[in-house]
Structure 1
Amino acid sequence: MRKQIAAANWKMNLTLVEGEQLINDIVEANIELQPNQQAIFAVPFPYLLSIKKIADKVANFKIAAQNCNNHKSGAYTGEVSAPMLQHLGIEYVIIGHSERREYYHESNEMLAQKVNIALENKVAPIFCCGESLSIREANTQNDHIEQQLKESLFHLTAAQMNGFIIAYEPIWAIGTGRTATSEQAQDMHQHIRTVIANQYGTSVAASVSILYGGSVKANNAVDIFSKPDVDGGLVGGASLIPAEFIAIIKSLK
């Protein structure tokens, strides 16, 4: 059975004291995850080791970085490399988040480089894809997502894609007042899995965890996660509220 994942993306929020209190509150909920379930916490770079020390108390609680550079080292002031993450014992890294694509103009080619460097250093990517409102209104979202996957991932081998993690972000439904239904989430997740199957076969496609990143909250997680091709969520704002994220973790199937 492929992994079911509740991934928290803290973004650029919280002081270290606040972050430690948040993760402690979640740890103290004594959530017992099944072997196929994980909670992943993508925290700001300065907090990685401190939060990891607390999360390590719980089986299947993992830590992720929110980004890495597309170079192994060099004169890139302020950047963090995949080898650095590996040496800190960080197992996951978010790559291609919609905010990185929009604000820092990260291209599909650059993201392919980041995926490669992460894998070379045994840091598992959580690869984000998604479409804007204009693309959704033009009804070209399927082609857009397929292009993102092909240009950033389809150079990988079947072995590298086996068990891969993808997060689908309907950018048009995040903070816009528009709502994506669980049926729309399932439709896109099914499309993503079909695109992967066409390239790598149904066995690999069935192993890929596809997370939904469209304003997952405690009151909609059960419905969204119940869909057959939705394997959990990449959670933003709700992951900063202990009770909300605890409920979301408990909604995993």
Structure 2
Amino acid sequence: MRKPFIVANWKMHKNVRESVDFVNQIKSKLPDPNKMEVGIAAQAFALPSMVEAAGKSGLKIIAQNAAAEYSGPYTGEISLRGLSDAGVSYVMLGHIERRRLFGETNENVHQKVQAALQRGVTPIICTDETMVQQVVNNEIHYVFHQLMTVLHGISLDQIKQVVISYEPSWAVGAGQHANPTLAEEGCRLIRQTIAEYYSYEIADKIRILYGGSVNPNNIKDIVDKPDIDGVLIGRASLDLDNFLKMISNAQLTIKEEKK
């Protein structure tokens, strides 16, 4: 059974006090962590305080980025060693905004993913790529070149530890409307690509999240899809009541038989 994962991506919002206040208000209202995980990706300076505030609540505190190097003369970078020591359990890597605004490449993200796995920090690998159709042996295959370039060289044992987030460019930004059917098709094809590269058994165990204009009105229809195991929420996660409502709506979709 793949455990649903609801992730808030606060981007460059909220200071330390605001972040800790949010954690203190939400931590007693979370679902059973054995049935659903909830996480918050916040700015780096707030993470240690948030980890302390979260305590044993089960709330996952997530970094929005990290460097491939553990230490050294890299002014302004965020060390995975430091994140691990601070109790941060997940890190987002390769987000569409990192690629667009800061020129991150597949190779950059690949190196960061390897570094995260080596430090025991679970990477949430973000991909915004549109699937590419290819014909092999007279059969049509759909391939995500961006994602598979990032995963190149990741071992069978390592791939089991990753989370993937699919955030297509057409769904990014306020005012857009997420299409649950298209979201499911993208996540299904990602799972199929992983199955063909690794195995169907492994692909069946990897959690694939969907990101892009998720809100309280559409989250249930999105998470209810068989190949979508959670969501990455941007703007809509900044308000406490709104985020709690989204968690509650997502809980309605939990099925005993979901893989």
Query: How has the CA–CA distance of structure 1 residues 89 and 39 changed in structure 2, closer, same or farther, with 3 Å as cutoff?
Result: same
- 1:127: Cα distance to partner? 0.4
- Per the alignment, residue 7 of structure 1 pairs with 7
- 1:177: Cα distance to partner? 4.0
CA displacement 1:131-168 (0-9 Å, x = unmatched): 4xxxxxxxxx2129711111101311111111420000
AA of the residue aligned to 1:143: V
1:171-182 counterparts in 2 under 5 A?
A: 171-175=169-173, 177-182=175-180
Matched, 1:165 2:163: yes
1:1-253 counterparts in 2 under 5 A?
A: 1-28=1-28, 30-58=29-57, 60-131=58-129, 141-143=130-132, 146-175=144-173, 177-250=175-248, 251-252=250-251, 253=254
- 1:108, 1:41 → 2: CA distance? 24
The question of whether the paired residues in 2 share the 8 Å contact of 1:98 and 1:128 is answered with yes
CA displacement 1:228-253 (0-9 Å, x = unmatched): 00101011111111112112222142
- 1:85, 1:20 → 2: CA distance? 17
What SS does the aligned partner of 1:207 have?
coil
- 1:204, 1:182 → 2: CA distance? 24
AA of the residue aligned to 2:36: Q
The question of whether the paired residues in 1 share the 8 Å contact of 2:43 and 2:64 is answered with yes
- 1:31: Cα distance to partner? 2.6
AA of the residue aligned to 2:85: H
- Per the alignment, residue 136 of structure 1 pairs with none
AA of the residue aligned to 1:142: M
- 1:42: Cα distance to partner? 0.9
CA displacement 1:194-215 (0-9 Å, x = unmatched): 0000011111001110011111
- 2:161, 2:120 → 1: CA distance? 13
- 1:178: Cα distance to partner? 3.8
The question of whether the paired residues in 1 share the 8 Å contact of 2:213 and 2:234 is answered with yes
AA of the residue aligned to 2:104: E
Could you state the TM-score of these two structures normalised by the residue count of structure 1? 0.91
Unaligned runs of 5+ in 1: 132-140
- 1:188, 1:79 → 2: CA distance? 32
- 1:189, 1:122 → 2: CA distance? 25
Q: 4+ residue stretches of structure 1 with deviation over 6 A?
A: none
The answer to which structure, 1 or 2, has the higher relative contact order (CA under 8 A, 6+ apart) is: 1
- 1:192, 1:146 → 2: CA distance? 7
The question of whether the paired residues in 2 share the 8 Å contact of 1:66 and 1:93 is answered with yes
- 1:34: Cα distance to partner? 4.7
The alignment's C-alpha RMSD in Å is 1.6
- Per the alignment, residue 134 of structure 1 pairs with none
- 1:154, 1:206 → 2: CA distance? 19
More off after superposition, 120-129 vs 66-75: 66-75
Structure with the higher helix share, 1 or 2: 1
AA of the residue aligned to 1:210: I
Identity %: 38
Unaligned runs of 5+ in 2: 134-142, 255-259
Query: How has the CA–CA distance of structure 1 residues 16 and 217 changed in structure 2, closer, same or farther, with 3 Å as cutoff?
Result: same
CA displacement 1:102-143 (0-9 Å, x = unmatched): 111000011100001001100000000014xxxxxxxxx212
The question of whether the paired residues in 1 share the 8 Å contact of 2:7 and 2:233 is answered with yes
The alignment of Structure 1 onto Structure 2 pairs a total of residues equal to 242
- 1:75: Cα distance to partner? 1.1
Query: How has the CA–CA distance of structure 1 residues 176 and 35 changed in structure 2, closer, same or farther, with 3 Å as cutoff?
Result: closer
- 1:74: Cα distance to partner? 1.5
